[in-house]
Amino acid sequence: MTKHNHFERVVFQPQTYQGMQRGINAIANAVRPTLGPLPRNVAITKIKPHDQLPEMLDNAGLIARRVQQIAGRDEDAGAMFIRQLLWRQHENLGDGTATTAVLFQAVYNEAIRFIVAGGNAMLIRHHLETGMRLILDQLNALTIPVNDRATITQVAESVCFDPELSEILGEIFDIMGTYAQVDIRSGRSRDITREYVGGTVFEGGFHTQLMVNDPERVRARLENPAVFLSDLEINNPEELVSLVRQALDAGHTGLVVMARAFSDPCIGVLTSASRNPQRFNALAVKTPGTGLQEQTAFLEDLAVLTGGRTFLSILADSPKNVRLDDLGSARKVWADKEFLGVIGGQGDPIQIRQHVAALKRRYENIDDDDIRKLTLKRLGKLMGGSASLFVGGLSEIDINAKKEMAEAAIGAVRGALLRGVLPGGGAALLACKPALDELAAQTTDLEERVAYQVLSRALEEPARAILANAGYDPNVYLARIAEAGPGFGIDVRAGEVVDMVQAGIFDSAGVLLEAVRGAVSSAALALTVDSLVHKPRQKIANRP
């Protein structure tokens, strides 16, 4: 290690722009071939063993994620700037990363030329953001709501290009709706199959197999039980005795006791209480969820669903304090080693409906990714069932690639159901150009005019990339599309200029709007970077 590595290094213009631009272009050019229905693969070589085949990817978000660092610290700064954006888009929406990359690259490259020639980066940023809002308004006006299976299937196919998977996702989301809980699992055959499970299912099964009353399925199953909800560690058997007595006195024939842990004597109390199963059955189940936040959320949902109260360790609650009206109830509860299912919770239906409505509002408005994901999980569980998608394939690599594609398609479908769809293949973005061109022609402010022109040219780039990736001359086909009018694009598989909506070629509006918002606002921010400060190199930590 040389001495100068211990100190920060400061980089000024023009090296900052030049270095960052090379890094941005490296990432954008790497993922560009994956855009469109006829994408090409990007091979990621393995570090070791050296004789292993490279990983073949056509998903821009995953490709960006695999890039941990590129050569040159100035270049790496640009690369990591766009990588972070792409990975966030992939995590949030599962799709649209290649479009985001291409738009970001076009905006940055076009605008940087003007800034290097003396333009004001801050003013350009301001006008780019104004233009972005115009584009978003235009896209919103073009959005078509999605409420039928055929369109859902088309949206899925526009992402995964797999008709079999798209058909199944079309069915799943047609049945289960926007907030469907879909568990993607490896299949045992080459096919893609699905299975529906009714009721609200949580991870976290029974505490002991002693309570199994359905030996064939290794399940414990109770009908019309009372439900005690908690995240407590129950160690004192006397506390449980009083709980069981209350349930018995109230005429319940079953009792589900949910807790984080039970002592052996407590399990003994519950198994003894079930000695005459015709009269009474008790079941000890694990508090579902991992971590305090998830457990608290799931307990809140279960309380609404079953009409019970939650007993929390953080409040020093104890089962000995339970009153009869603290217990929830359900038509059926089952548990196996891994899962807990609640069917027909007897909570107040109006409260359940209001709870679901509140969670939907939270999901649509929250910015925090973790809370958003947890909210989606909660909604999925409250929708009365879940779907398991079993993805088969020729090899583990094939299965994993298909599972990632399914994940991306699910994100796009969810976005489409929430926000609608737009004419696909870049046609929606092309349709926004005239409004920007008109604004550019009207303004006398140089920075403003340049910003709108930059955006107008950038809006062509996704269509150009799709055409080039499919082997067409973008200049020839863009002219034909412009001649055909707004909403027209190219069906690259047929090689024809078509009305994209009539041809059923869609993009998820949520994904495209987020791609535009992320690409333009991030590129506009990147343009304002004037100098770089490089910290001394540390060992590379794993980046998300």
Cα 212 to Cα 358: distance, rounded to the nearest angstrom: 37
Q: In the complex with other proteins, which residue's Cβ is closer, 315 or 350? A: 350
Cα 459 to Cα 474: distance, rounded to the nearest angstrom: 13
Pairing of strands 281-286, 254-259: parallel
Q: In the complex with other proteins, which residue's Cβ is closer, 118 or 349? A: 349
Least separation in angstroms between CB 359 and other proteins: 11
Least separation in angstroms between CB 340 and other proteins: 18
Least separation in angstroms between CB 348 and other proteins: 8
CB atoms within 10 A of CB 218: 12
Joined tokens for residue 194: 């699905």
Least separation in angstroms between CB 289 and other proteins: 19
Q: In the complex with other proteins, which residue's Cβ is closer, 198 or 485? A: 198
Q: Which long-range contacts (CB under 8 A, 24 or more apart) does 368-375 make?
A: 369/88, 369/91, 369/92, 372/92, 374/293, 374/294, 374/297
Least separation in angstroms between CB 311 and other proteins: 24
Which distant-in-sequence residues (6+ apart) come within 8 Å of 370 by Cβ? Answer: none
Least separation in angstroms between CB 380 and other proteins: 11
SS3 call for 310: strand
Q: Which segments of 36-184 does DSSP mark as H helices, in order?
A: 60-66, 73-93, 97-116, 121-142, 149-160, 163-176
Contact (CB, 8 A) for 383 and 357: no
* Binding-site ranges for other proteins (CB under 8 A): 147-149, 174-177, 196, 198, 223-224, 331-332, 344, 346, 349-350, 352-354, 356, 382-385
Least separation in angstroms between CB 420 and other proteins: 16
Least separation in angstroms between CB 343 and other proteins: 8
Q: In the complex with other proteins, which residue's Cβ is closer, 96 or 288? A: 288
Joined tokens for residue 335: 């548990």
Least separation in angstroms between CB 199 and other proteins: 8
Q: In the complex with other proteins, which residue's Cβ is closer, 131 or 170? A: 170
Which distant-in-sequence residues (6+ apart) come within 8 Å of 484 by Cβ? Answer: 497
CB atoms within 10 A of CB 146: 24
Cα 525 to Cα 528: distance, rounded to the nearest angstrom: 5
Q: In the complex with other proteins, which residue's Cβ is closer, 332 or 362? A: 332
Q: In the complex with other proteins, which residue's Cβ is closer, 175 or 250? A: 175
SS3 call for 329: strand
Q: In the complex with other proteins, which residue's Cβ is closer, 177 or 392? A: 177
CB atoms within 10 A of CB 280: 18
Joined tokens for residue 504: 């059923």
Q: In the complex with other proteins, which residue's Cβ is closer, 344 or 392? A: 344
Contact (CB, 8 A) for 356 and 379: yes
Q: In the complex with other proteins, which residue's Cβ is closer, 384 or 434? A: 384
Q: Which long-range contacts (CB under 8 A, 24 or more apart) does 440-448 make?
A: 445/127, 446/119, 447/119, 447/120, 447/123, 447/124, 447/127, 448/123, 448/127, 448/130
Joined tokens for residue 119: 């333009």
Q: In the complex with other proteins, which residue's Cβ is closer, 171 or 437? A: 171
Which distant-in-sequence residues (6+ apart) come within 8 Å of 328 by Cβ? Answer: 226, 227, 228, 229, 302, 303, 305, 306, 307, 308, 309, 345, 346, 347
Omega before residue 39 within 30° of 0, cis: no
Least separation in angstroms between CB 146 and other proteins: 12
Least separation in angstroms between CB 213 and other proteins: 13
